[in-house]
Structure 1
Amino acid sequence: MLLLTLLLTFHLFWGTRVNSAPPTCTQTQFMCRNGRCIPDLWVCNGDRDCEDGSDEVHCRKQTCPGFMCKDGGCIAQSALCDDIMDCRDGSDELSENCGLRQCKKDEFSCSDRRCLSLRFRCDGSDDCGDGSDEASCQDCAADWFPCEPAGMCVPRAKLCDGRPDCPLGQDEGADLCPSSPPTSPRTCAGFEFSCGDGQCIPHSWRCDHSTDCADNSDEDNCGQNECLVNNGGCSHLCVDLAMGFLCDCPAGMRLVHDVQCEETDLCLDTDVCSQLCKHVNGTFQCGCHEGYLMSPRTGECKAKGTVAQLVFSSSGGVRRVNAAGMEYREVDAHLQGPGPLAVLTADRSLFWARPGQGSIYRISMDGETRESVLLLKGLGSVLGMAVDWIHKLLYWTNTNTHSVNVARLDGSAGRLLIGGLAKPTAVAVQPLLGFLFWAESGSSSKIGRAGLDGQARLPLITTAIWNPVAISLDMPRELLYWVDSGLRTISRVGFDGKHRKVVVESNGYLDRPLGLAVFEGHVYWSEQATKTICSASKHNGSLLRVILPNVASPGSLVFVHPVLQPKGTAVCGNDGRVCPYECVPDLFSGTSSPSFSCVTPTGGSNDVIFHNSSAPARSETTYAGLSLLIVALSVLLAGVALWWWRQELRPSRTPTLQNLSMKESQDPLIQAPAMGPETCSVKDTLLKLDLDCD
């Protein structure tokens, strides 16, 4: 009680001194009448961001002090043509408003004022999108193939590679290339019914008085009680009908994929918030994690600091572009092929694997010389890579050995971590939580989770998945996204395997997807059939946008921004340990049980802090020191009390009533109205698969 009283007294005096100093705002901020500082972009935006509304006082409804977007929004003039879409409709980055944009000396200016590296000029690929970078070029060289009548040139090595590079696909024509082998038939998933001819339909369509199989086998033998056999496949309640059956869920749960019940989460079901979400009295309060700032217009959480760069691989080399698609440059022209990518943002190191050769290279994104360094070779077919930025580890998949592997970032001490997988295609890590994720394709496609040491394996997705080719993590919301090239969809699921949802369905730009990345409020993917890099809302697939057109064989995607690899205390192992000093991976000792160990600065071990554990006993010396401190503070408190008593006994002066305006502090969280549950037809879906009707 003495310590508490002393702290309150100290807080009162110190707060008076601090509050007496006049508040100051930076040059990019606006000061409200009550002294609060808000970003300039929030001034005259139609929202009362100051408690007293002073940010909207001198604004007129039809006048914008900065730049007015086409949809009527208002942004600061400094935000115009900064390669970041501040307007909801992106009108602040259109060429008509950014006509004064000047390209650098080593860049070429397209007809629409987009800037791209000179190395893309006359390379046989329409990188501008309007052909201006391929206009007035010389005839094709001997080792190049002409694309008529476009006048483009593509390398002859790309002929008959299964990917059309000419605008009309002449390089893959029947007169040049033999017919492609037929694809293998699909195997029905566990929740599906297999028709007599091999066709797959949802099991709930069986015995529903509607013929769905071509041979009518789904309506045969419908007189039995399906609920008596394995509860009809239902996770909770099975209701037998006169013809067929249906699954049901208890209150507070919802039905997923016709057979599985899971607890409802209104925040994830409605997808109103970009990151943090709280459902209170029918409304949603949104917020952003550290390192992000909420957009006052869209409510989307924007990363602070430098502009994020989207790096992607292609047959023309590794290239990068900003999220607005306006700055398009080359990272390395020698790393050719749509191989997997991974990045370490701390030193901006990029890792790339050569397709089909099993070699992993490292390259720096900074500096004048960007010579690639060979780290590993002879690995087989590498389709996915990921970097653990906390423990400095590199993970990759190997389809030849059917495994997920790990090595140090310098390429040393590599080893197999998880074996027995069916064509692993992708891998991702969340080292702060100690999670390792991977995707498997083939006859038994799935997405799994394990610890960073490969232990505690857990399946996340096993049904309604065909060919997952890439995965990406939305770490602020603890969601995993994957793109399925077989179903032509982009879906998401929680790190615990719950709250699955399809966010992007086939829209003409998902016929042959390959790469996937999640950043801020959007998902980004590469598409080989249309040779594009696209983006859409990570919530529902709206706001479809082509970031880059005419990309030759686009492959893996990865965003480079410090906020995507935050520092912090990581879980060490699979039992919730947190190390007070350092967590060191013990993965390369050759033992059959890889692990993580806590070490002290002297090299010892076993100094471990467990979550939810009791505090260790303190020594007698510590308690003696605390006792002396309490005595000293008690004496100081007595002096303060004596001073206060003397002040109270003084003759009273004419009191001056000080009107302290105690205003309610503005809550930065956005409130949005509750949204009703989405509905969809049972059968009117892609491939007649009820992938996710939530």
Structure 2
Amino acid sequence: MRRVCLVSAEGGGSSMGHLGCLVLLIAPLFILQICGEEWCNKDEFTCRSSRCISTKLLCNGVDDCGDGSDEDSCQNCTSGVFSCGPSDGCLLKDKVCDGRADCTNKRDESRELCGSDQPAAQTAPTCPPSEFQCGNGECIRHMWRCDNTPDCSDGSDEQDCNQNECLVNNGCCSHHCVDLPMGFLCQCPDDMKLVDDSLCEEVDVCLERDVCDQLCVHSSHSITCDCHEGYHPGSTTGACTAEGDEAQLVLTTSKGIQLMSLFGTDHETLAPHLPGRGPVAAVTSNRTLYWAQQGQNFIYRISLDKEPQEAVLVQKVRGSVSGLAVDWIHRLLYWTSPDQGSVNAALMDGSPEHPLITGLDEPSAVAVEPLQGFVFWTQCGSAPKIERASLDGHGRTALVTSSLNQPVAITLDIPRQLLYWFDQGARSISRVTFEGRHRKTVVESNGYLDRVFGLAVFEGYLYWSEEVTRSICRANKHDGKNLQVLLSDIPSVGGVAIIQPVLQPNGPAACGRPGTLCPHTCLIDLQPERLRFRCASTETRSNKPQTPGISVPASTFSVLTFAGILSLIIFLSVLLLGVVLWLCRRLQPSRASSALSFSLKDSQDPLISQESHSCTRTFLIEDLLLKVDLDSD
């Protein structure tokens, strides 16, 4: 900016001229301050005194501005604790320059602070917020920190225990952190409970009391239980019993596929020519089983209503099959492959397989909820977890990541929207909501939970196959009580599935992703690179897809409802037209019938016949309703 100072030629005006020049020089500074423009560079901090300092000097415990403004907005880190910056947390001194970037801005490993010889900064902590990260990168539960027992292999969980851990990122507590003489404690408000040692979640009274098999309404300190359509209240409070045919349990063994009652009283071998245990899934509408032998890469289909039961090869897949599930709405198969480290999908009647989720570490089981549009899977590798995604593989979300060892079996309680899994390392069965909340261990080690292969849930019970005792067992799905051994001495028992139509209710297709309902049809394109769902319009449905696929009606109810509304609109319109014509005839009786015929003949409404008008008013409504029915068909 050029500044020009005009000085008076008279000597007396010289001082005034210099003063005016000084004003002109300083004025832009005040203007910039008033207008909110930054006078300092982008990598500098503007002090209240208008001094510019490097942003690297912020929150270093030194008053570099001279007015303290560079330290005012910092975290209130106590002596011996390092501040990461204005919007970040505090670190213990031993975390600074340790080769691991703990601050979001990596300030604790900066060259200015640590010099040029510090070890290369490692990536940010990989442990979830609910766990403590050891100095060597291991993850342990927060409650094990400073408990006088080293749980980290390097003993770092017992270091600096005389510090106030609550000053460092609130101890990783989501709400309240209470410092103790040794360690700290996370606490929650009265209407919340503590989970994973550090997180608080709202209390769900229905799931806490856990007395309803399905629907639960909590009001006025009381709970009311109810059942979904297809079930009726049982003899006990909160129980729901399925209507229709008696449910049956299918299991795979080394001697073939067997079918038994849920009470274990009757059982028979269906396909002795298909020996070998493995995962099994059922389509209840046509009583069809899909089965894969453990360690093999073949998926077969068997109909229970055909004699004899002949196996049809549906898929020869890449890698072995560890888990198998069916999407009865979109007619798809989902399976996990530990060899490929993936969750895959294909059509039930056979099509090239499509990797849905890849890069997994020993995936072990899979389950599908097509009404909500979810696929769930487990992996048992170095970082065990249970995850969820949409049916097309998008929206991947981790549901369970902590206190998990070997989740080898999984099943869904669709009426309650709960996911159950068996952890072989903990020898227990636990459950969680589809959003990953309200976790609860239901069945703990009881002598029949050493090595579970298959898991299923129906009505008020959990059913599982146990390899060590070679048995089929069941227990209450709420608290694990009423353990029953339904069948024993089974040769190499494998997967289990329950057949009852109510388990797979009809409904609109989610079309790949939760909340995506198509007004007409859901098309499934089996593209080589990805399974793809898309909604098709009326015009699209008339053209066949260019890639192999199927179409699924989005909702029969919506189509019928639209036809009914259209019929009602047409009926009322015709009725109104008839009333108007009748009034016209009454008000103008001298008008000839030929004038009425002319008026109808010239009408632009395609629903009004342009022929033989003498019968039009008599049969018009009946013809219109017939046309609507034909159009609907």
Same fold flag (TM > 0.5): yes
1:362 partnered with 2:280:
no
1:233 partnered with 2:172:
yes
1:205 partnered with 2:136:
no
Task: Find the partner of 1:274 among 180, 190, 213.
Answer: 213
Return the offset for 1:195.
Answer: 8.8
Task: Find the partner of 2:406 among 457, 461, 467.
Answer: 467
Q: In structure 2, do the counterparts of structure 1 residues 321 and 198 end up closer, same or farther at CA, with 3 Å as the change threshold?
A: farther
Return the offset for 1:429.
Answer: 0.7
- Gaps in structure 1 of 5+ consecutive residues: 1-186, 610-614, 635-694
Return the offset for 1:543.
Answer: 0.6
Residue type of the alignment partner of 1:398:
S
Q: In structure 2, do the counterparts of structure 1 residues 569 and 188 end up closer, same or farther at CA, with 3 Å as the change threshold?
A: closer
Tell me the residue number matched to 1:564: 503
State how far apart, in whole Å, the 2-side matches of 1:395 and 1:546 are.
Answer: 30
SS of residue paired to 1:499: coil
State how far apart, in whole Å, the 1-side matches of 2:576 and 2:208 are.
Answer: 53
Tell me the residue number matched to 1:394: 333
What does 1:313-328 correspond to in 2, within 5 Å? Answer: 313-328=252-267
Q: In structure 2, do the counterparts of structure 1 residues 188 and 505 end up closer, same or farther at CA, with 3 Å as the change threshold?
A: farther
Task: Find the partner of 1:594 among 532, 537, 553.
Answer: 532
Return the offset for 1:628.
Answer: 5.5
Return the offset for 1:624.
Answer: 8.0
SS of residue paired to 1:455: coil
Tell me the residue number matched to 1:428: 367
State how far apart, in whole Å, the 1-side matches of 2:576 and 2:228 are.
Answer: 38
Asked if 2 retains the 8 angstrom alpha-carbon contact of 1:448 and 1:458, the reply is yes
Q: In structure 2, do the counterparts of structure 1 residues 622 and 195 end up closer, same or farther at CA, with 3 Å as the change threshold?
A: closer
Asked if 1 retains the 8 angstrom alpha-carbon contact of 2:470 and 2:493, the reply is yes
Q: In structure 2, do the counterparts of structure 1 residues 194 and 434 end up closer, same or farther at CA, with 3 Å as the change threshold?
A: closer
Residue type of the alignment partner of 2:541:
G
Partner deviation per Cα, 1:84-134 (whole Å, 9 max, x = no partner): xxxxxxxxxxxxxxxxxxxxxxxxxxxxxxxxxxxxxxxxxxxxxxxxxxx
Asked if 2 retains the 8 angstrom alpha-carbon contact of 1:189 and 1:464, the reply is no
Tell me the residue number matched to 1:669: none
Residue type of the alignment partner of 1:270:
R
Q: In structure 2, do the counterparts of structure 1 residues 621 and 535 end up closer, same or farther at CA, with 3 Å as the change threshold?
A: closer
SS of residue paired to 1:338: coil
Task: Find the partner of 1:419 among 325, 345, 358.
Answer: 358
State how far apart, in whole Å, the 2-side matches of 1:631 and 1:600 are.
Answer: 31
1:341 partnered with 2:276:
no
Which segment drifts farther, 268-277 or 622-631? 622-631
Residue type of the alignment partner of 1:314:
T
Asked if 2 retains the 8 angstrom alpha-carbon contact of 1:425 and 1:438, the reply is yes
Tell me the residue number matched to 2:520: 581
What does 1:205-604 correspond to in 2, within 5 Å? Answer: 205-208=144-147, 219-574=158-513, 576-586=515-525, 588-592=526-530, 594-600=532-538, 603-604=541-542
Partner deviation per Cα, 1:218-258 (whole Å, 9 max, x = no partner): 54431112223343232333222232111122342211121
Partner deviation per Cα, 1:271-325 (whole Å, 9 max, x = no partner): 0111111112111110000111111235410111111011111222111211111
Q: In structure 2, do the counterparts of structure 1 residues 231 and 315 end up closer, same or farther at CA, with 3 Å as the change threshold?
A: farther
Q: How many residues align?
A: 441
Residue type of the alignment partner of 2:356:
L
State how far apart, in whole Å, the 2-side matches of 1:632 and 1:353 are.
Answer: 66
State how far apart, in whole Å, the 1-side matches of 2:490 and 2:514 are.
Answer: 45
SS of residue paired to 2:541: coil
State how far apart, in whole Å, the 1-side matches of 2:385 and 2:378 are.
Answer: 6
What does 1:105-116 correspond to in 2, within 5 Å? Answer: none
Q: In structure 2, do the counterparts of structure 1 residues 621 and 483 end up closer, same or farther at CA, with 3 Å as the change threshold?
A: closer
TM-score, scaled to structure 1 = 0.59
Return the offset for 1:585.
Answer: 1.5
Q: In structure 2, do the counterparts of structure 1 residues 224 and 313 end up closer, same or farther at CA, with 3 Å as the change threshold?
A: same
What does 1:163-202 correspond to in 2, within 5 Å? Answer: 191=130, 202=141
Higher helix share: 2
Identity of counterpart residues, as a percentage? Answer: 52
Partner deviation per Cα, 1:318-341 (whole Å, 9 max, x = no partner): 112111110111121122222110
TM-score, scaled to structure 2 = 0.64
Residue type of the alignment partner of 1:410:
D
Residue type of the alignment partner of 1:333:
P
Return the offset for 1:594.
Answer: 2.4
SS of residue paired to 2:535: strand
Q: In structure 2, do the counterparts of structure 1 residues 197 and 509 end up closer, same or farther at CA, with 3 Å as the change threshold?
A: farther
State how far apart, in whole Å, the 2-side matches of 1:633 and 1:529 are.
Answer: 81
Relative contact order: is structure 1 or structure 2 higher (C-alpha 8 Å, sep ≥ 6)?
1
Q: In structure 2, do the counterparts of structure 1 residues 528 and 601 end up closer, same or farther at CA, with 3 Å as the change threshold?
A: farther
Return the offset for 1:444.
Answer: 0.9
- Gaps in structure 2 of 5+ consecutive residues: 1-125, 544-550, 556-560, 581-633
Asked if 1 retains the 8 angstrom alpha-carbon contact of 2:373 and 2:512, the reply is yes
Instruction: Provide the alpha-carbon RMSD of the alignment.
Output: 3.4
